[in-house]
Structure 1
Amino acid sequence: MTETRRIQSRYRLIELIGRGGMGEVWRALDESLGRQVAVKCLKPVGPQHDQAFTRVLRERFRREARVAASLQHRGVTVVHDFGEYEDVPYLVMELLDGQNLSQLLEENEQHPLPVEHVVDIAEQVADALGYTHRRGIVHRDLKPANIMRLTDGTVKICDFGIARLGHDIGMSSRLTTTGLAMGTPHYMSPEQISGQEVDHRSDLYSLGCVLYEIATGSPPFDQEDAWAVLVGHRDTPPEPLRTHRAELPGFFDRVVLDLLAKVPEERPADAGDLRRRIVLGRTGEQPALGPSLLARPESGQTAAAHGTAMPAWTRAMTAGHRATGSAPPPAERPDPAAGLTGQWTTAASTAPHTGTFVSVSAGPPAPDLLATLEERHSAGIDLGRLGRWTEAAQVHREVAAERLRLLGPDHPDTLASRYEIGFTLSRTGRADEALREFTRVAAGREGALGADHPQTLAARQATAHALGRLGRHAEAHEVYEAVLAVRERVMGPDHPDTLRCRHNLAFNLSRLGRPEESCRIAREVADARARLLGPDHPDTLVTRYEVAYTLGRLGRWAEALEIYQDVARARATTLGADHPDTFAARYEAGISLGRLGRDAEALEVYRSLVADRTRAVGEADPETLRARHGLGVNLGRLGRWEEALAEARAVCALRESTLGPDHPDTVISRREVAAGLGWLGRWSEALGAYRQVAAARTRTLGPDHPQTLAARDDEAHCLERLGQA
């Protein structure tokens, strides 16, 4: 659609102003009426994709159009038109000049908004919700990103994609049984979490979460782990807002706490009642206390006591993004730190699968001590992200030891620390130790959380990765298949963790010598990620990179080259020209050019890559030296052996000084030196270099290793050329 830049010969697309997993929003010109509008387009989904999923997406899109078009209120985004063009649904809306509440918080550097703005937003949203609820419409996904504040101060509710019309329960059921998101955990009501039927009071609870966040800077249950967030909504009374921000009006504190009552009957009766209380509070009058303050349950009388137990599907949820910007873990990190301290340290007995544990210290650990440990845990993760793995490992070992003493060996926080220890071991080349650590974590999590819990599956998946690093690909394959079966059953085929597991399975199949299967699965994962995340999302590009790798293994270098070049361009745009992943794709493009015999082009790729990597990370960085090695190889292929020999010697010297004389990369460079000497007819010097290679490989790999035998064969060839058969 966007290639034509015009829809139905009327709406000319001007600028992309928003993008999500399922659609895009464009600023456009309505050429018939001469006004600017916003056009929301559902991303194209082809016949190769899951048709049930496609139908649900289209139904949701049509629902949003139908619901929004039926609403005429200053607090709801106006819909002008809806239709399909070239089989792609589109929605034409008023163009809003402003920011959503999530953006306002980010712009305010995660500090809460001014009090007068918070109260004004609360009144305007209450007014808009009162209107939608009177028309029988429940939003069900109210969150900061779906509430816009315009430059003139007007507040509007957006995105009715999963709203429920009171007379259309059947369609609602179909829309929420496919594994698609039914809300965002930080803003979901207890009844929504439990899978019960929801009504307008669920929106009031979500609004309470939003108001709490914009008033204090954090949502009421501020955890990055989805399960901890859901437990908080179900069981934990929220702290009064004024404990975080004393200048908030007392009436506003009471109103928000009423909205956050665990059961619907204890919240304000409706949005109209809520708005009246806000208006009275702003004028200085004392509103009547709401039912949740008159009969608020004690901390032990939770929603669970009212029958609001969480169903099994909630364990598969991820925390999503709260407005203040909790960053998701990197794509290659399947298991973020759990951080369940507040929920798991007050139990009196151990009961596997129920989420209760005994603290092994003399009494419940002090909250400030647990908070300090959580901060140190996060600091260790940050050190790892900076590549400082040795320091990260030390931090995680210290935190793990303290958590073991305070919380016990099977507490989720202790296991989270041990998981990070395993991760640092893996990143520092100690795969055998990492495997032992991940195996212990997987067993502990299975006993504590259950075999199907996402954290248990993450630990099992990490054991498979470690097995692969040890060359035990057949065992890794069995684990990946078992984990994938559970993920597909519990989370669904398109859950990000399911797709990550399938990506790893494809990677491992390639290393098992099954490139055809690997390529097929990697293509399927790449298509799914492109559909759900977008074609330029880093996860999508990682899988496309793997597709290219398997195509190379199959000898289909022209196809591999095209994908590597596309990935390199996309990564330069999304990650930056100097990002390591961008450099990696450029390097593989050079390899592919060489395999296709396009040595002059490959030489230019390597030459520019060497210059860019030297500038970005230095001349002695291993990846800079890898690019210089490729440069030397291509000089040789072009018959420029004097230059090739000089490059190989320089790289070999740098590798020896930084990596050591027996490092595989150093040995490869020394062999390249020997090859250059041989091509220049300097066979006696080549013989000495080949003997050094053979000796190093004998020491590190053993006398019977294929690479050692290949080095001895090179040595014999030199002797033949010297007449010493």
Structure 2
Amino acid sequence: MADSRLIQGRYRLLDLIGRGGMGEVWRARDESLGRQVAVKCLKPPAPQQDRSFTRIMRERFRREARVAAALQHRGVTVVHDFGEYDGVLYLVMELLEGRNLSQLLEDRARDTADDRDPDGTGPRTADTAEGRRQRPLSVPEVVDIAEQVTDALAYTHEQGIVHRDLKPANIMRLTDGTVKICDFGIARLGHDIGFTARLTGTGIAMGTPHYMSPEQISGGQIDHRSDLYSLGCVLYEIATGRPPFDLPDTWSVLVGHRDTDPEPPSEHRAGLPASFDRIVLGLLAKTPEERPADAADLRRRMAEARRVAGPAGRRALPAPHERPALTAGAAPYLPGGGPEPAAPPLPAWTRSMTTGHKAVGLSELRATPPDHTAGLTGEWTRPADPRATIAAPAGTARPAPQPEHLAALTTRHNAGLSLGRLGRWEEAGEVHRAVAAERAHTLGPDHPDTLGSRYEVGFTLSRTGRTADALREFSAVAEGRARTLGADHPDTLAARQETAYALGQLGRHFEAHEVFAAVLAARERTMGPDHPDTLRCRHNLAYNLSRLGRLADAHRLAHEVAVARARVLGPDHPDTLVSQYEVAYALGQLGRWPEALSVYREVAAGRAQALGPDHPDTLAARYEVGISLGRLDRSAEALELYRGLVEDRARAHGPLHPETLRARHGLGVNLGRLARWEEALTEAREVCAARERVLGPGHPDTLVSRREIAVGLGWLGRWTEALTVYREVADARARVLGPTHPEALASRDDEAHCLEQLGRSAEAAALYRQVAALRRGPGRGH
């Protein structure tokens, strides 16, 4: 886009002041009104860019324009115009002079001009990287920002708008001290929930981990009190120099928001008013009901805190006249005078996720004030710097890729991960395949990022039932990582482990066993026997042993892994409970149903506590409790359990979800065991019809339900009808699974038994002989 470019014959682009993976921000002149403005432009898609991702970004861009243009408040960035010109979406905003709060914290971290803290009362920390990282704003500045943001939120919430991504990068402080909220790109209009769900359902921008409310993380109902929680995170950080849960891994941050009470801000910065602790911790309450009712209520609490404390010095909230103007030379502060202790190691289940951007930290690219990009876009843009380069991979003549292109690929890769977390595996696969192709072209086929994308392609293939294709992809990634990273690198071993899992899914359990055993040996050698990744591999090996029929070995190994995981990760950790689940499965296969029932119940209770009562894993454990009760002839208890499970599954996942239908199937089976065959037959027919509609007529679950219809008909003495259904099931299983598959042969046995009941003994005997011959196989003696 040339500097002389006119948009709609009105907005003349002058200087590029920010660039991101998806677009640019320009300083421009409004030729009609003779004023300078900021113009945010969404770049047109490249020919190779996947259409679904582009469509989502354009919808989000339009939504930002629509929401922001409806707001008129001194605390919200003003949007003047919006449109599309030559295929480019553009948004015209007021041109702001100032810095966002993230940049203000960075400014303080860089400042070495003063030897006193922000309040002028103590020595500055030694100029180390860790010291630079944690230098907050002064208390009067924090209070001023809190009050202005609260006023702006009160206005936006009255308009029925929830921001949903409030963070330091989206709050700007102008040179005159005015504070403005920016970037309403994922805001929700109260009357437009459906549109927003489609827009944010991709997970491209659900919020930023360090500032997300527990209900955002859990996928619960979100209202204005979610913004208040995010404001609490922002205030905590600008007052202490660190977010409330300052951990290096996204999942651990999210679990912190959901499950852990934050430490009071004053524990990280001596001298903060006690009233500030109370207000911030109130905002950070886990449930919306425990937080202030609304922004107006929060404003009243702030005023009350000042009134009660009075002008008593450092323990009171400063009065408005104490607010300092925004200055460039405010001195930094680090509580405690030394580096913070190292965080304890995190388990493997929190790995391979990124934290997103938090406010603190030094940026390689920094524009000098005034920075007009501040607050316009959050992560969407970064200051343009033509000096930034990335070296080409060693040993190749490949030209250095552009940082903007690499950033765009990273954004798309993360979007694919988000689609996967939402269960949208087909779409995720399309995104990862496109990114993998571009990374191979830009970085080379064996570059770790290229292989990382191909790994995710394999994962999406496995989740969409294309296991053979997934195996080929994982095998190629394992070979590439072995060449690039080494045979014992954790990423190489992870890819090899996925190949073993795919082999098991394909029924190639002996081959899977060999790969699992080799990977386990490498993990024990390089990581130690109790490393979470080692334990995961041992768990997979136990699972595979059970599929090989080595049930005693599977039980022993699963029990050992469960004990080790309880010691390393804790007894209620999801990985520990998965191993306990495998212990219960092995016990059931060994016929030790009382013990299996006890362990399944422990797993169900542990998962309800750790994951929530409606989590799919919790409900799966409850299903297995029902299976165990049925095996112990405690069908009345099993029936009541399945009734509750059907209700919970239908509420959580819908009445036609495959797992809801599985629970209904269990209910019908236990009705039959209680000799309530008319009810059992009705349930079997309804479940079969639903499964045929949802899963297809040849799906194994549909055929199981169809067989259950035949069982009910037989018990009701309707053997002629039962024979017809048994034959349908046998023919379908032979067609789908093959005539010698154990389930197809079992169905032929059912058919022969039905013939016997009808007095057709000769036909039954002939069919039994045919089944016996098929079981023996060709070339075997009679």
TM-score for both structures, normalised by structure 2: 0.52
Map 1:640-679 onto structure 2 (within 5 A).
640-679=676-715
Percent of aligned positions with the same letter in both sequences?
Answer: 61
1:135-534 correspondence to structure 2 within 5 Å: 346-347=391-392, 349-350=394-395, 358=396, 360=398, 363-534=399-570
Partner of 1:102: none
Matched position secondary structure for 2:703: helix
- Does the 8 Å contact 2:497/2:516 carry over to 1? yes
> 2:132 & 2:605 partners in 1: Cα distance?
34
Find the partner of 1:610 among 646, 649, 671: 646
Contact 2:513–2:544 at 8 Å: present in 1 too? yes
Structure 1: 5+ residue stretches without partners: 1-107, 131-139, 154-210, 226-246, 257-269, 275-314, 327-342, 351-357
Residue 347 of structure 1 deviates from its aligned partner by 3.6
Residue type matched to 1:387 in 2? G
Q: How does 1:625-704 map to 2 (within 5 A)?
A: 625-704=661-740
Matched, 1:587 2:623: yes
Q: Which amino acid aligns with 1:479?
A: V
Amino acid at match of 1:346: A
Q: 1:142 to 1:318 in 2, by over 3 A?
A: farther
Q: Does 1:597 align with 2:633?
A: yes
Letter in 1 for 2:514: E
Mapped pair 1:705 → 2:741: yes
Q: Deviations over 1:75-106 (max 9, x none)?
A: xxxxxxxxxxxxxxxxxxxxxxxxxxxxxxxx
The structural deviation recorded for 1:485 is 1.0
Gap change, CA 1:221 and 1:598, over 3 Å in 2 = closer
**For the residues of structure 2 that align with 1:248 and 1:460, how far apart are their CA atoms?**
55
1:383 aligned partner, one-letter code: L
1:122, distance to aligned residue in structure 2 (A): 12
Q: Could you tell me how far 1:374 is from its partner in structure 2?
A: 0.6
Distance verdict in 2 for CA 1:533–1:127, change over 3 Å: farther
Give the counterpart letter for 1:495 in structure 2.
H
Distance, in Å, in 1 between the alignment partners of 2:552 and 2:122 is 54
For the 8 Å contact 1:438–1:460, the answer to whether it is kept is yes
Alignment check: 8 A CA contact 1:111 1:217 kept: no
- Give the direction of change, closer, same or farther, for the CA distance of 1:393–1:626 in structure 2 (3 Å limit): same
- Cα separation, 2, equivalents of 1:423 and 1:491: 24
Aligned residue number for residue 259 of structure 2: none
What is the distance in 1 between the residues matched to 2:539 and 2:121? 46
Q: Is the 8 A contact 1:426 1:434 kept in 2?
A: yes
Classify 1:115/1:691 alpha carbon distance in 2 versus 1 (closer, same or farther; 3 Å): same
Q: Cα offset for 1:705?
A: 1.8
Question: AA paired with 2:422?
Answer: L
Q: Structure 1 residue aligned with 2:577, among 534, 541, 545?
A: 541
- Give, in whole Å, the separation in 2 of the partners of 1:689 and 1:508: 35
| One-letter amino acid matched to 2:700 | P
Q: Which has the larger radius of gyration?
A: 2
Cα shift at 1:523: 1.6
Change (3 A) 1:216 1:605: closer
Q: Deviations over 1:168-207 (max 9, x none)?
A: xxxxxxxxxxxxxxxxxxxxxxxxxxxxxxxxxxxxxxxx
* CA 1:607–1:475: 2 relative to 1, 3 Å: same
Question: 2:732 aligns to what SS in structure 1?
Answer: helix
1:557 Cα deviation after fit: 1.1
Which residue among 615, 622, 625 is the counterpart of 2:658? 622
Partners of 1:446 and 1:222 in 2: how far apart? 27
* 1:556 counterpart letter in structure 2: R
Task: Check conservation: 2:417, 2:428, Cα contact below 8 A.
Answer: yes
**Aligned match of 1:565:** 601
CA distance in structure 1 between the partners assigned to 2:424 and 2:637 by the alignment: 36
Aligned counterparts of 1:143 and 1:676: Cα–Cα separation in 2: 74
- The whole-number CA distance in structure 2 between the counterparts of 1:213 and 1:475 is 57
Q: Alpha-carbon deviation of 1:223?
A: 9.1
2:263 corresponds in structure 1 to: none
Instruction: Give per-residue Cα distances to partners, 1:463-520, cap 9 Å, x unaligned.
Output: 0000010011111111111111111111111211111111111111111111222222
| AA of the residue aligned to 1:448 | T
AA in 1 matched with 2:491: Q
Q: RMSD value over aligned CA atoms?
A: 4.4
- AA paired with 2:474? F
Q: Deviations over 1:376-411 (max 9, x none)?
A: 111111111111110010000111111111111000
1:365 aligned counterpart, secondary structure: coil
Structure 1 residue 419, shift from structure 2 partner = 0.3
For residue 447 of structure 1, what is the amino acid of its counterpart? R
1:124 Cα offset (Å): 10
Give CA deviations for 1:265-284 in whole Å, capped at 9, x if unaligned.
xxxxx979x9xxxxxxxxxx
Q: Is the 8 A contact 1:144 1:323 kept in 2?
A: no
Q: Is this contact kept in 2: 1:112–1:213, CA < 8 A? A: no
| Contact 1:110/1:217 (8 A) holds in 2 | no
Cα distance per residue 1:188-240 (max 9 Å; x no partner): xxxxxxxxxxxxxxxxxxxxxxx999759899998989xxxxxxxxxxxxxxx
Kindly provide the amino acid, as one letter, of the partner of residue 562 in structure 1: S
Q: Evaluate the alpha carbon distance shift between residue 423 and residue 319 of structure 1 in structure 2; reply closer, same or farther with a 3 A threshold.
A: closer
The superposition leaves residues 526-553 of structure 1 with CA deviations (integer Å, 9 ceiling, x where unpaired) of 1222122221111111111111111111
Residues of 1 paired with 2:747 and 2:427: CA distance?
38
Tell me the distance in 2 between the aligned counterparts of 1:442 and 1:218: 39
Partner AA of 2:676 in structure 1? R
Residue 110 of structure 1: how far off its partner (Å): 9.1
CA separation of 1:115 and 1:690: change in aligned 2, threshold 3 A: same
Q: Is this contact kept in 1: 2:249–2:355, CA < 8 A?
A: no
Give the Å deviation of 1:250.
6.1
Q: Does structure 1 conserve the Cα–Cα contact (< 8 Å) formed by 2:584 and 2:597?
A: yes
CA distance in 2, matches of 1:456, 1:617: 36
Check 1:619–1:213 CA distance in 2 against 1; reply closer, same or farther (3 A cut).
same
Give the gaps of 5 or more residues in structure 2.
1-99, 143-236, 252-325, 340-347, 360-387, 762-782
Q: Structure 1 residues 610 and 143 mapped into 2: Cα distance closer, same or farther (>3 Å)?
A: farther
